[in-house]
Amino acid sequence: MREIAYDDLVKSVKAMVMHTASHLPEDALKAIEEAYRNEKSEVAKSVLKQILDNAHLAAEEDRPLCQDTGLAVFFVKVGEDVKVTGGSIRDAINQATEEAYKEGFLRASTCDCFDRHNLKDEVGYNLPAIIHFDLVPGDRIEIEYAAKGGGSENVSRATVLAPAQGKEGIKNFVKQVISDAGPNPCPPIIVGIGIGGTFEVAAKSSKHALFREAGTPNPDPELDAFEKEIKEELNKLGIGAMGMGGTQTVLAVHIEKNPCHIASLPVSVNVQCHSSRHSHITL
């Protein structure tokens, strides 16, 4: 059984969380640069320019890219032959999140659902982190992380279609969601689509789909073609950067598909704004 010390885990996760707040990853940068080159609208182009300038400035000066520094979302794959000594993995991730958000001058954004008061003093600064665990073979711990803002999360939707609605039904649902969202999720966006499984599996898949590097092909050729088809459809909506009208609304469409019940076709759409702050480490 391989061992990883609790403190080392905290240190690695904390460094990743702090870095991600101010450094837009390469895949997002490249996708926005491409959108900038292809955009036909002058207004949208000027917005994309600001987004790129912001990314460079944030990285140079180590400032948060956006004031909504998000909820901390993790997908964690734990090998069956590795053990963390000196504490639990969940505690380590929460501790790393709290320390990174505090020391990095990031915003604490978790609150109570009903009276909306900030939970930073009771539960912890920007805690609890959202953690999805998975048990896998091997002796590694793989951690994928995203700082997920509220604006794009607010327009995300899930449904269960009738099987007969098929791919056409999925496409129409996605189109409706993105059309209704308009300027609100800070386009240009990345669209994560989870198909199949049960209701909650579709939702989780749509979130996880956002972690794939934008611009990389889907390993399944049928899904890859479907992603391209949906992206083209969505860009016809004309929403443009920050909704001001334009040809470049969607940077990428990512799909994850799971087997589902013979009676249902669950579909979930999770929207990611242009501030696609994600990274991963393997320990």
Partner 1 sequence: MAEYHMTTPLSDEDVSKLQAGDIVYLSGTIYTARDAAHKRLVDLIEKGEQLPFDLKGSVIYFVGPTPPKPGEPIGSAGPTTSYRMDSYSPILIEHGQKGMIGKGKRNQAVKDACKKYKAVYFGATGGAGALIAKSIKKAEVIAYPELGPEAIRRLEVENFPVTVINDTHGNDLYEMGRAKYEVKD
Where do contacts with partner 1 occur on this chain (CB under 8 A)?
22, 40-44, 46-47, 50-51, 53-54, 57-58, 61, 63-69, 105-107, 118, 149-151, 154, 182-184, 186, 236-240, 242-247, 273-275
C-beta of 105 vs 133, nearer to partner 1: 105
Asked if residues 155 and 174 have their Cβ atoms less than 8 Å apart, the reply is no
User: Which of helix, strand or coil describes residue 257?
Assistant: strand
Is residue 151 a contact point for ligand SF4 (CB under 6 A)? yes
User: For residue 182, which phi and psi values (nearest 5 degrees)?
Assistant: 50, -130
C-beta of 197 vs 246, nearer to partner 1: 246
Say which residues have a Cβ less than 8 Å from residue 43's Cβ, sequence separation at least 6: 240, 244, 245, 246
C-beta of 65: minimal distance to ligand SF4 in Å?
A: 8
DSSP collapsed to 3 states, 58-110: HHHHCCCCCCCCCEEEEEEEEECCEEEECCCHHHHHHHHHHHHHHHCCCCCCC
Q: How far apart are CA 243 and CA 43, in angstroms?
A: 10
Q: How far apart are CA 177 and CA 195, in angstroms?
A: 15
Q: Which does 12 bind (CB under 5 to 8 A by kind): ligand SF4, partner 1, none?
A: none
Is residue 44 a contact point for ligand SF4 (CB under 6 A)? no
The two tokens of residue 114 are: 């009903």
C-beta of 112: minimal distance to ligand SF4 in Å?
A: 20
Q: How far apart are CA 210 and CA 213, in angstroms?
A: 8
C-beta of 50: minimal distance to ligand SF4 in Å?
A: 12
47, 174, 186, 267: which one binds ligand SF4 (CB under 6 A): 186
Q: Which helix (H) or strand (E) holds 265?
A: strand 265-272
Q: Which does 242 bind (CB under 5 to 8 A by kind): ligand SF4, partner 1, none?
A: partner 1
C-beta of 181 vs 203, nearer to partner 1: 181
Is residue 124 a contact point for ligand SF4 (CB under 6 A)? no
Q: Which does 97 bind (CB under 5 to 8 A by kind): ligand SF4, partner 1, none?
A: none
C-beta of 210 vs 273, nearer to ligand SF4: 273
The two tokens of residue 239 are: 């929403």
> Pairing mode, if any, of strands 189-197 and 250-260?
parallel
N-terminal to C-terminal alpha carbon distance within the chain:
14
Q: Which does 154 bind (CB under 5 to 8 A by kind): ligand SF4, partner 1, none?
A: partner 1
Is residue 249 a contact point for ligand SF4 (CB under 6 A)? no
C-beta of 5 vs 43, nearer to partner 1: 43
Binding mask 50-69 for ligand SF4 (x = CB under 6 A): ----------------x-x-
